[in-house]
């Protein structure tokens, strides 16, 4: 066996077997073992969620010189794990100067969680706020930066809603039923992703084929609050093609969004149906064409407000009806030593929010065209360059409507003079139809003085243009100007053998002219209260500690601690994050067929005035063989009473049982 370890230890390595290779699309000098173009489990990809086409034979091309003579066709090669979001092109995580966390399909399934936010909440630097059960408004922060500072992509399609008050993605409707990979990239990334990526980027990849051939998988779950989930996935992979799709359904009777401890009794239910798909075809001459997309409809109840009387009065008719669609087409090819990628994406969201019998209708769309090229410019350097154009529209039935366009030019230079050092410089210029030109930059580096030690750091600038709603709605202000930001982080990571690691990261984020809702503002069209600019700097600094190690061959423990300090010149939601956040995960193989996970989180010194809280979830999984397994998941194991948003409730202890089968 040939093993190439990486900075996070064996528990996160990706395995390929010889014999699964495909022909290289473009041969050329490879000065260092560069895996930026190897399929990352999803054939995913740089900036648009899509790697420059590179087949699995790149494994043997890159590492053939390291293989001992006479290795058999079934030898296993362990590859460094790849990040598709930290640079314009995919690279090994250990070569990335930015802070990125990868959740694999195995980790997602092992947790047994239905809501993705329950998985993300345990990551360092991630905090989740929710206004009730699944389907109600749920936000996420990265190192204290709220969801309107986080760009979210699903299979390369940006899914933040242009019609929402502050352009963001509602994580309350996101289920894990069709997800095979999540990347969480932290820090200002406007040089790579443009506006909104001040706090970071979350890239989500739906189900893909895991190996050549055809595979099916099905899952069923039932639990407390009459919660049920079902999904079916089909995937096939051949020498020159791949196709996958997933159908899923999630429903629950729910519990009162306004906290039941305040006397609220109405249960707020939710139901959703979703189709996601991906396919590509390799043509003669080395061109790959492909398509991905999704369609989702969901409906859920909500409460008028939090606290006593928040569920209103009969007939309890507050509910949301939503539908959204995303579509991406892409082509990848190589000419004259340059790798090319062209992406066309479309996203639309239609929301109807009914309150006291009156419907509020919101529509938002985003169309995007992007080109990216990449070429080696020496034995140790690579240049990536490109351009994109985006148009967003938004409107509601109160008379608000607006649109904007952004044209961008970007470039990235990567220099790897040795096996132990990587430096990446990124530059982007955006021309906004209303606010003119903005240039952002990022510098990131990784240094490995020893095989078991990695030092990485990055500094990046960012900007966020006011949303269409912030500008033109009855709660908006057309005189708002873009926010600008600067972020930096520095981390040191030490590995211990193949199963242990310790990582320390210091970070800071400064935002100038923060846009927030001012409840006391006068002169607003629908006032009092509207969006305004917070003068001066709003600052966040903090520290992340992460560690993991195997107690034995059967038991592993991982933990994290995040310290976040927020400062702003005005009272705002900017400070509504815990100062101290702890996470703990224990996984154990109890018997050869029985495994378990215990996940816990504790939040202290919460800057929104709420008391400290701790919550734990546990899952037991039984392997029945032949691709079948069953599980029992217990949410809120110790029945803690807590809130993440003042006045809004969270689940009591809840039990869920499920069955999964692959064939």
**Per-residue confidence (pLDDT) for residue 113, from 0 to 100:** 85
Separation of alpha carbons 96 and 490, rounded Å: 12
User: Which tokens in the block code for residue 480?
Assistant: 């708002």
Select from 257, 229, 222, 250 the least CA-distant residue to 138: 257
Model confidence at 38, in pLDDT bands (50, 70, 90)?
very low
In this structure, are strands 654-662 and 628-635 parallel, antiparallel, or unpaired?
antiparallel
What does DSSP say about strands 150-154 and 200-206: parallel, antiparallel, or unpaired?
Answer: parallel
Per the listing, tokens 């096939």 go with 236
The conformation of residue 125, written as its DSSP 8-state character, comes to: T
Specify the pLDDT at position 69. 32
Tens-place pLDDT, residues 534-565: 888 888 899 999 999 999 999 999 999 999 98
Rounded to an integer, what distance in angstroms lies between the CA atom of residue 185 and that of residue 201?
Answer: 5
Q: Where are the strands (E) in 308-420, listed by range?
A: 319-335, 338-355, 358-376, 381-396, 401-418
Going by DSSP bridges, is the β-strand pair 500-518/483-496 parallel, antiparallel, or unpaired?
A: antiparallel
Lowest-confidence pick of 108-112, 569-573, 630-634: 569-573
CB 465 within 8 A of CB 476: no
Inform me whether the pLDDT recorded for 66 exceeds 70.
Answer: no
Q: What are 140's strand-pairing partners?
A: 128
pLDDT digit string, tens, across residues 235-285: 999 999 999 999 999 999 999 999 999 999 899 999 999 999 999 999 988
The pLDDT score that the predictor gives to residue 112 is: 79
Placement of tokens 């970070």 in the chain: 507
Residue 567 has pLDDT above 90, yes or no: no
Rounded to an integer, the average pLDDT of 380-388 is 96
Q: SS3 for 559?
A: strand
pLDDT, residue 65, reads 33
The confidence score (pLDDT) of residue 17 equals 27
The more confident residue out of 8 and 191 is: 191
Whether 47 has a pLDDT exceeding 70, the answer reads: no
Query: Model pTM?
Result: 0.85
More confident residue, 256 or 399: 256
- C-beta separation of 206 from 248 below 8 A: no
Average pLDDT, the chain: 84
Query: Is 509 within 8 Å of 145 (Cβ atoms)?
Result: yes
85-89, 175-179, 620-624, range with greatest mean pLDDT: 620-624
CA dist., res. 618 & res. 590, Å (int)? 14
First-residue to last-residue Cα distance in the chain? 28
Distance of alpha carbon 58 from its chain centroid, rounded?
27
Between CA 396 and CA 568 the distance in angstroms is 32
DSSP annotation of 467: P
Q: Are 93 and 445 in contact (CB under 8 A)?
A: no
Contact 44, 307 (CB under 8 A): no
SS3 640: coil
- Per-residue pLDDT averaged across 570-576, rounded? 54
Count of CB atoms situated within 10 Å of the CB of 349: 24
Query: 64 to each of 2, 35, 558, how far by Cα in Å?
Result: 11, 13, 34
Domains and CATH numbers, the chain: 2-662 (2.40.170.20)
* Greater pLDDT, 23 or 309: 309
Q: How many CB atoms lie within 10 A of CB 326?
A: 23
Which tens digit of pLDDT belongs to each residue from 122-151?
899 999 989 999 999 998 889 888 888 899
**What per-residue confidence (pLDDT) applies to 516?**
85
Phi-psi group of 135: left, alpha or beta (phi > 0 → left; psi -120 to 50 → alpha; rest → beta): left
Range with the lowest mean pLDDT among 76-85, 163-172, 441-450?
76-85
Spatial contact of 658 and 250, defined as CB atoms under 8 Å apart: no
Distance of alpha carbon 553 from its chain centroid, rounded? 31
Residue 139, classed as helix, strand or coil, is strand
SS3 per-residue string spanning 458-524: EEEEEEECCCHHHHHCCCCCCCCCCEEEEEEEEEEEEEECCCEEEEEEEEEEEEEEEEEEECCCCCC
Compare 448 and 165 and report the one with higher pLDDT.
Answer: 448
Beta bridge partners of 633: 619, 656
Measured distance CA(490)–CA(465) in Å, rounded? 27
* pLDDT tens, position by position, 590-642: 999 999 999 999 999 987 778 999 999 999 999 999 999 999 999 999 999 99
Strands 613-625 and 288-301, sheet pairing: unpaired
User: What are the angstrom distances between the C-alpha of 428 and each of 126, 296, 377, 410?
Assistant: 27, 33, 20, 4
Taking residues 517-533, report their average pLDDT: 80
> Strands 14-17 and 483-496: what pairing?
unpaired
Contact predicate 110/37, CB 8 Å: no
Distances (CA, A) of 209 to 103, 114, 145: 17, 21, 34
pLDDT: which is higher, 499 or 3: 499
Return the minimum-mean-pLDDT range out of 19-33, 165-179, 435-449, 529-543.
Answer: 19-33
Give pLDDT tens digits for 217-228.
Answer: 999 999 999 999
pLDDT of 48: 39
What secondary structure letter does DSSP report for 646? T
75 vs 5, residue with greater confidence: 75
Worst-scoring range by mean pLDDT, 52-56, 553-557, 582-586? 52-56
pLDDT at 100 over 60: yes
Q: How far apart are CA 457 and CA 490, in angstroms?
A: 4
**Which position has the token pair 């689940």?**
651
Dist CA 193 CA 184 (whole Å)? 14
Q: What phi and psi, each to the nearest 5 degrees, are found at residue 368? A: -145, 140
pLDDT for residue 317: 77
Whether 207 shows a pLDDT value over 80: the answer reads yes
Secondary structure class of 436 (helix, strand, coil): strand
* The two structure tokens encoding residue 3: 């093993």
pLDDT in tens, 403-459: 999 999 999 999 999 999 999 999 999 999 989 999 999 999 999 999 999 999 999
Instruction: Give the mean pLDDT of 2-14.
Output: 31
Q: What is the pLDDT of residue 523?
A: 74
């Amino acid at each position: 066996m040939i093993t190439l370890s990486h900075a996070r230890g064996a528990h996160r390595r990706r395995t390929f077997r010889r014999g699964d290779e495909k022909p290289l699309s473009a041969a050329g000098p490879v000065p260092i073992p560069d895996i930026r173009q190897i399929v990352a489990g999803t054939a995913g990809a740089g900036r648009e969620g899509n790697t420059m086409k590179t087949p699995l034979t790149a494994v043997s091309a890159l590492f053939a010189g390291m293989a001992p003579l006479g290795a058999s066709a079934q030898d296993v090669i362990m590859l460094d794990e790849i990040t598709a979001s930290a640079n314009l092109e995919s690279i090994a995580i250990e070569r990335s100067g930015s802070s990125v966390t990868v959740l694999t399909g195995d980790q997602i399934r092992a947790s047994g969680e239905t809501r993705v936010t329950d998985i993300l909440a345990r990551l360092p630097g991630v905090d989740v706020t929710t206004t009730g059960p699944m389907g109600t408004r749920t936000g996420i922060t990265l190192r204290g930066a709220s969801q309107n500072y986080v760009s979210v992509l699903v299979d390369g399609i940006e899914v933040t809603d242009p019609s929402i008050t502050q352009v963001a993605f509602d994580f309350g409707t996101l289920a894990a039923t069709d997800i095979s990979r999540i990347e969480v990239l932290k820090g200002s990334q406007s040089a790579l992703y443009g506006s909104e990526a001040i706090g970071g980027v979350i890239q989500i990849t739906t189900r893909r084929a895991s190996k050549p051939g055809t595979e099916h998988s099905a899952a069923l779950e039932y639990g407390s609050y009459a919660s049920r989930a079902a999904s079916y996935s089909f995937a096939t992979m051949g020498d020159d093609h791949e196709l996958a799709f997933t159908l899923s359904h999630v429903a629950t009777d729910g519990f009162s969004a306004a906290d039941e401890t305040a006397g609220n009794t109405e249960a707020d239910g939710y139901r959703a149906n979703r189709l996601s798909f991906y396919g590509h075809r390799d043509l003669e001459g080395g061109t790959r064409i492909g398509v991905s997309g999704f369609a989702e409809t969901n409906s859920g109840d909500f409460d008028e407000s939090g606290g006593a009387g928040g569920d209103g009065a009969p007939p309890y008719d507050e509910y949301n009806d939503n539908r959204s669609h995303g579509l991406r087409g892409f082509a990848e090819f190589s000419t004259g030593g340059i790798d090319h990628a062209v992406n066309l994406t479309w996203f639309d969201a239609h929301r109807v929010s009914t309150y006291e019998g009156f419907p509020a209708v919101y529509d938002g769309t985003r169309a995007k065209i992007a080109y990216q090229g990449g070429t080696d410019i020496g034995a140790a350097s690579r240049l990536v360059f490109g351009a994109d154009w985006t148009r967003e529209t938004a409107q509601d039935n109160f008379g608000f409507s607006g649109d904007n366009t952004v044209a961008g030019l970007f470039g990235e230079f990567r220099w790897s003079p040795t096996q132990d050092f990587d430096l990446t410089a990124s530059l982007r210029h955006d021309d906004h139809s209303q606010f003119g030109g903005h240039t952002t930059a990022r510098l990131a580096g990784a240094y490995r003085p020893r095989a078991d030690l990695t030092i990485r750091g990055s500094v990046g600038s960012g900007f966020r243009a006011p949303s269409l709603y912030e500008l033109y709605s009855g709660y908006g202000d057309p005189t708002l100007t873009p926010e600008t930001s600067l972020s930096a982080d520095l981390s040191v990571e030490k590995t211990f053998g193949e199963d242990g690691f310790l990582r320390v990261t210091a970070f800071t984020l400064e935002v100038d002219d923060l846009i927030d809702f001012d409840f006391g503002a006068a002169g607003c069209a629908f006032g009092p209260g509207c969006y305004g600019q917070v003068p001066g700097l709003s600052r966040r600094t903090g520290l992340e500690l992460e560690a993991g190690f195997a107690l034995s061959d059967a038991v592993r423990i991982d933990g994290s601690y995040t310290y976040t300090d927020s400062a702003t010149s005005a009272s705002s939601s900017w400070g509504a994050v815990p100062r101290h956040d702890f996470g703990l995960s224990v996984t154990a193989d109890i018997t050869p067929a029985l495994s378990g996970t215990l996940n816990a989180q504790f939040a202290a010194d919460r800057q929104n005035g709420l008391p400290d809280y701790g919550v734990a979830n546990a899952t037991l999984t039984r392997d029945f063989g032949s691709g079948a397994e069953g599980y029992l998941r217990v949410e809120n194991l110790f029945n803690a009473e807590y809130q993440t948003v003042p006045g809004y409730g969270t689940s009591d202890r809840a039990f869920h049982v499920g069955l999964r089968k692959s064939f």
